[in-house]
Structure 1
Amino acid sequence: MDGKTRLGDFLQARRSQLRPEDVGAPTYGERRRVPGLRREELALLAGVSTSYYTRLEQGQSLSASPDVLDAIAGALRLDESERRYLHDLARVGRQRARGRRPAPERVTEAMRQLLDVLGDVPAIVLGGRSDVLAWNRLGHALFAGHLAPGAPDLPAQRPNMARLVFLDCHVRDLYADWPSKARAVVGNLRLVAARQPQDAALHALLGELSAKSAEFASMWADHRIQACTVADYEMRHPLVGPLTVVQQTLSSGPGPVVVVATTETGSPSRAALALLAQATSEATTRAGLSSDAARTRPRAGRD
């Protein structure tokens, strides 16, 4: 799908989600064949001609200025994230799309030091496509304790949070309000897709999720944008039970981000997280002792 099609699909989807009463447009009691605003009504709200807006929605015109895009964003009642997304779609639509091999994503030394410092706080490093590039011990235990601890270090086995949320029953069961988490994942992927329209690996991921999850396909077709830098989630952890965490995304610019999960001081959730930390620490200690014993166990000699 090229930039022109994505722009047109986004405009059409968001226009259909606006009702005339949402924007004060008169209906005169008439019955409408399709939901949402008509093109001429949206064009009037944006201060552009109906023919121009129609060409824009049909992908026949990609010359919209930033001011016109802002006017359309205002008419569609877009928030700031959605407004930036609209501008990104218009920008890439004017460029010649060409698939390319994405650059490898790496965890910087500064990020590894941060993971070490955040020893008592669950933390993971996510790439642009939601690949898990690294996690600390507690981050692994909270988000994907059923996976091998060293999975992020092996590109062939590297977990992907979008896949986990939609296709892994363990991670799906973690979230009491799974649809909210799922919509956040889809909204973030849509923002990334607009910024990186030539990322072949990202488009392969989107195709895989659409084919394997009807829920993902439905949410993707909804064209909702959601930039979740901070969000509360009620989790149901198999080891420590229910807890509520605040997931925060820490970013210093383009590239991988660090996602941390914090809990309220003195809350049952903080106690549950401390219990999880204790359990994983004891498990790590037992594993280390078993490994040491195996290395030092004397071998039977030959007769």
Structure 2
Amino acid sequence: MRRSGPRRATLGHEPGASVAVMNRNGAGDVGRDGVNELVSAIRCLPAVVTDRHLTVVTSNPLARALSGAFHPTVNIARYTFLNPVVDDDSPEWRDASGQIAAMLRDSLDQHEEDAGFRKLVGELSSQSIAFAQAWAHDDRRPARSAAVRFVQPFVGPITMVFQELLIPDDFALRMLLWRPVDDPAERDAFARLVAFTAEQD
């Protein structure tokens, strides 16, 4: 049974109902250049767009500062399961990793299997026992909104909530838009992240 409200999870810095921006028959054609422009225009919140394989297509500076998983060309599933820096001993990581496996399974349900998908699942299954177990035995549906705890080296721990958004006319893409949880300490941490990101420009 799916729990209502955000779910908590933890992913290191070294890394549920979808809200459709427009339906499949909506007007407007948003190509990849348009997606890049859209994400670049979002300055107040971290935004990251992934493809059907959970590879980051584009992200804004706040997202890249939040986690190494959110840099363009990084595959979030590989980052989660194969990155030795990620703390995979915590219960929160196990919940987060199960969600990543669920997102991949959901993508396979929505799109035809391709060579890239088979390669990714084969690599993860052979190199990560945690992924192989989640892929074989964890049949949860992916959360469309969830709380995730990050460890940002220059800001400290910060808990953010994402909302999944669909991209108009390219439903192989999904946007994750992040905001801090409604807590003074978390808002302060997010303010530090914003300041840190501004200093890097």
Q: Higher helix share goes to which structure?
A: 1
Q: Percent identity?
A: 27
RMSD value, Cα: 2.8
Change in CA separation of 1:78 and 1:241 when aligned onto 2, cut-off 3 Å: closer
- 1:165·1:172 contact (CA, 8 Å) conserved in 2? no
What is the aligned partner in structure 2 of residue 195 from structure 1? Answer: 110
1:115 to 28, 36, 39: 39
How does 1:265-284 map onto structure 2 within 5 Å?
A: 267-284=184-201
Which amino acid counterpart does residue 228 of structure 1 have in structure 2?
Answer: A
Change in CA separation of 1:236 and 1:107 when aligned onto 2, cut-off 3 Å: farther
What is the aligned partner in structure 2 of residue 129 from structure 1? Answer: 53
Number of residue pairs aligned between Structure 1 and Structure 2: 173
Shift of the alpha carbon at 1:189?
A: 0.7
Q: Distance in 1 between matches of 2:37 and 2:158?
A: 27
* Pair 1:243-2:158 in alignment: yes
Structure 2 residue runs without a partner (length 5+): 4-15, 17-29
1:260 to 163, 173, 177: 177
Q: Distance in 2 between matches of 1:179 and 1:164?
A: 14
What is the aligned partner in structure 1 of residue 13 from structure 2? Answer: none
**Offset from partner CA, 1:193-246 (integer Å, 9 cap, x none):** 233343111011000000110110011110413222101122222221122110
Change in CA separation of 1:276 and 1:168 when aligned onto 2, cut-off 3 Å: same
How does 1:91-240 map onto structure 2 within 5 Å?
A: 108-144=32-68, 152=72, 158-172=73-87, 177-240=92-155
Which SS does the other structure have where 1:182 is aligned? helix
Q: Distance in 1 between matches of 2:119 and 2:181?
A: 39
TM-score by length of 1: 0.51
What is the aligned partner in structure 2 of residue 47 from structure 1? Answer: none
- 1:137·1:280 contact (CA, 8 Å) conserved in 2? yes
Q: Distance in 2 between matches of 1:192 and 1:200?
A: 14
Which SS does the other structure have where 2:97 is aligned? helix
Change in CA separation of 1:107 and 1:276 when aligned onto 2, cut-off 3 Å: farther
Change in CA separation of 1:204 and 1:244 when aligned onto 2, cut-off 3 Å: same
Change in CA separation of 1:276 and 1:228 when aligned onto 2, cut-off 3 Å: same
Structure of higher CA gyration radius: 1
- 1:188·1:225 contact (CA, 8 Å) conserved in 2? no
- 2:66·2:150 contact (CA, 8 Å) conserved in 1? no
Which amino acid counterpart does residue 179 of structure 2 have in structure 1?
Answer: T
Q: Distance in 2 between matches of 1:260 and 1:201?
A: 25
Q: Distance in 1 between matches of 2:97 and 2:183?
A: 29
**Offset from partner CA, 1:238-282 (integer Å, 9 cap, x none):** 221122110111114622111111014562212212211211221
Structure with the larger RCO, 1 or 2 (CA within 8 Å, 6+ apart): 2
Change in CA separation of 1:176 and 1:279 when aligned onto 2, cut-off 3 Å: farther
Shift of the alpha carbon at 1:118?
A: 1.8
Which SS does the other structure have where 1:177 is aligned? helix
Which SS does the other structure have where 2:74 is aligned? coil
Which amino acid counterpart does residue 53 of structure 2 have in structure 1?
Answer: R
Which amino acid counterpart does residue 202 of structure 1 have in structure 2?
Answer: F
Which SS does the other structure have where 2:58 is aligned? strand
Q: Distance in 2 between matches of 1:215 and 1:176?
A: 12
Which SS does the other structure have where 1:169 is aligned? coil
